[in-house]
Chains A and B, each alone.
Chain A
Amino acid sequence: MNTKASSFRKNHQLHLMLIPGLLLVFIFNYAPIFGIVIAFQDFNPIIGFKQMRWNGFENFQYILSLPDFMPALRNTVVISVMKIVAGLTVPILAALLLNEARNVLFKRSVQTIIYMPHFFSWVILGGIIIDILSPSQGIVNKMLGLFGAEPIAFLSSNEWFRPIMVITDQWKEFGFGTIIYLAALTAIDPGLYEAAIVDGAGRWRQTWHVTLPGIRPIVVLMAILSLGGILNGGFDQIFNLYNPLVYETGDILDTLLYRIGIEEAQYSVATAIGLVKSIVSFILIGLGYYLAYKFANYRIF
């Protein structure tokens, strides 16, 4: 049929449009996936991929024998879980407060300020954090000094390192995190509030019985989706703030992988760590999307 032929000719253009994008993802996303084979080899960059000696799971056994591996795994999970919990409470509380603000100009100004840190990189924010937390000159220790406290080396202290990571992570992201909850809050049917008022509910009861149930689906969704990042822990942030003194509590899988892979150039070992991490993350993300689809009817595309 004539129309079919012309539609084929036009679809031909659609394929054509996709070529540059496909080329890029094949080279930079799919080719590295095949490169994962070096996790099962004793890879030497000078010899290249082909004449490699296969060594089965030796690299994986080697990882387990590394004294740094188990602490890094533990730190990653602990820091991630702390961040996820903070990320599900602080932004929601802030969104609830913002939602109650009556003065539009004031509300806008607060939003403008709290969204801003999100757009700075961890290099810039890291520089600021290192400065304000400096034991000798930093403003935080100067202020603590007014109360007679001894200076604390926050970024070199195994007691303080994790809390500082969670707090500074919230500093960067809580404002941005409110956006999605504010959108959910404005989507609540105003009729529900009117009905609650007719039933004699005060402000608190409206919040408890209308507002919170209204945003529950999105909270559940965000919680499920955050599971996929449990082995991340925040490389950019930690890499820019940690030092050997806090490896014990602050070294995460990605920072360990960086030191082994880039600094020590043990390509095969680092790839093996990355592979384990990718597989676990893939399963968690897949599971997360499945659960999100099932319970919140959420689809990414």
Chain B
Amino acid sequence: MHLISRPYRMFLVFNSVVLAFLALLCLFPIINVLAVSFSSSSAADAGEVVLWPVGFTLKSYDFVLQGGEFNTAFLYSLLRVALGVPIGAVITMLIAYPLSKESHAFPQRTLYVWIFVFTMLFNGGLIPTFLIIKEVQLLNTIWALVLPGAVSVFNVLLMLNFFRGLPKELEDASLIDGASHFRTLWSVYLPISLPSLATILLFTLVGHWNSWFDGMIYMNHVDKYPLATYLQSILNLTAIPQTNLTLEQAILLKSVSSRTARAAQIFVAAFPILLVYPFLQKYFVKGLVIGSVKG
């Protein structure tokens, strides 16, 4: 039996208090602004809101979801995710599988690995990349947001390390049975790597949802901004832009302030992340640890 000494018990209490304080400190700004988004404009503008809405109302969300540019951007982000996530996953698997082979079985492996890893170490930079995207006619198309980041070397390394941990006999048995490498990847490797694949899908999804800079430089009209870019473009404005409002919005504008409307926009944009967060949390710790401090 463990005997818990008095000083140690006091330490445990102190420890819990500090940890609880840290967690609350992390949450506090988020809850405060969330409360603002549900508060009446007068209470919000007077700075009366702390952790609970004052003069509870859904008008700000009404205003945001009433259509217009915000909705267009939301849909464009969904399209981006719907294209970017599957493409990213397929590309990752197709690169990770060959590169997970041993050098004696696949002699060119090392060269290929370097070709991919080098892109992590050195890049052309903002302007040359922009000019290439322009040169290949991708400006103002959804592909400018999907293709340049489709190869994530980080995800490839994660998957590659997972494949390397699998017993070699799996591949041997499959190839001896006459299956092609494509068939082996699809029918043998894919089914057992679903947890790792889930990690990659979630990372990619969050990455696409959160990306804003590429939208800002590759798209020259608000119509084609993904949500993160649209939000970024209005964040620093002191007032909600009054152009392109729908009629309903123009009416609602009287009962929302730019502060409550912006708070609502922030949380509508954050909502999908919150939605996948429980799944994310289930996978990322394992995935991250496998990927970084393997062996």
- Are the CB atoms of A128 and B29 closer together than 8 Å? yes
B142 within 8 A of A: no
A199 within 8 A of B: no
Of the stretches A63-71, A73-81, A179-187, the one at the interface is A179-187
Give the one of A28, A33, A35, A261 with max B CB within 10 A. A28
A17 to B109, CA, bound (A): 12
Among B11, B33, B98, B259, the residue within 8 A (CB) of A203 is B11
- Are the CB atoms of A278 and B125 closer together than 8 Å? yes
Question: Which residues from B are CB-within-8-Å of A257?
Answer: 125-126
Given known A101-B15, A179-B288, contact A114–B95 (CB-CB < 8 A): no
Contact digits for A100-128, partner B, Cβ 8 Å, 1 yes 0 no: 11110011011011111101110110111
A184 to B45, CA, bound (A): 47
Question: Which residues from A are CB-within-8-Å of B270?
Answer: 120, 124
B235 within 8 A of A: yes
Name the interface size band of chain A: 35 or more
- Are the CB atoms of A282 and B122 closer together than 8 Å? yes
Give the one of B18, B217, B228, B270 with max A CB within 10 A. B270
Question: Which residues from A are CB-within-8-Å of B181?
Answer: 10, 13-14, 17
Closest B residue to A96 by CB, please name it: B15
B83 within 8 A of A: no
A285 within 8 A of B: yes
- Are the CB atoms of A97 and B19 closer together than 8 Å? yes
- Are the CB atoms of A32 and B128 closer together than 8 Å? yes
B132 within 8 A of A: yes
A193 to B231, CA, bound (A): 51
- Are the CB atoms of B19 and A110 closer together than 8 Å? yes
B124 within 8 A of A: yes
Determine chain A's interface SS by DSSP, over half rule.
helix
Smallest beta-carbon distance A89→chain B, Å: 14
Can you offer 13 A-B residue contacts whose CB atoms are under 8 A? A10-B180, A17-B95, A17-B181, A24-B150, A28-B148, A33-B122, A100-B12, A101-B15, A110-B20, A203-B8, A270-B126, A275-B125, A286-B121
A interface residues, Cβ below 8 angstroms from B: 7, 10-11, 13-15, 17-18, 20-22, 24-25, 27-36, 38, 45, 94, 97-98, 100-103, 106-107, 109-110, 112-117, 119-121, 123-124, 126-132, 136-139, 142, 171, 175, 179-180, 183-184, 187, 203, 218, 235-236, 240, 243, 257-258, 261-262, 267, 270-271, 274-275, 277-278, 282, 285-286, 300-301
Besides the known contacts A114-B22, A137-B45, 13 further A-B residue pairs in the complex with CB atoms under 8 A apart: A13-B181, A17-B97, A18-B95, A18-B98, A20-B91, A21-B151, A36-B128, A97-B22, A236-B212, A262-B130, A274-B124, A282-B122, A301-B157
B interface residues, Cβ below 8 angstroms from A: 8, 11-12, 15-16, 18-20, 22-23, 25-27, 29-30, 32-33, 36, 44-47, 49-50, 91, 94-95, 97-99, 101, 105-106, 108, 112-113, 115-117, 119, 121-133, 136, 147-148, 150-151, 157, 160-161, 175, 180-182, 185, 206, 209-213, 217, 228, 231-232, 235-236, 259, 262-263, 265-266, 269-270, 273, 277, 280-281, 285, 288-289, 292-293
Which 10 pairs of residues, A with B, have the shortest CB-CB distance?
A: A32-B124, A274-B125, A35-B128, A121-B210, A32-B128, A14-B98, A13-B181, A29-B119, A21-B95, A113-B23
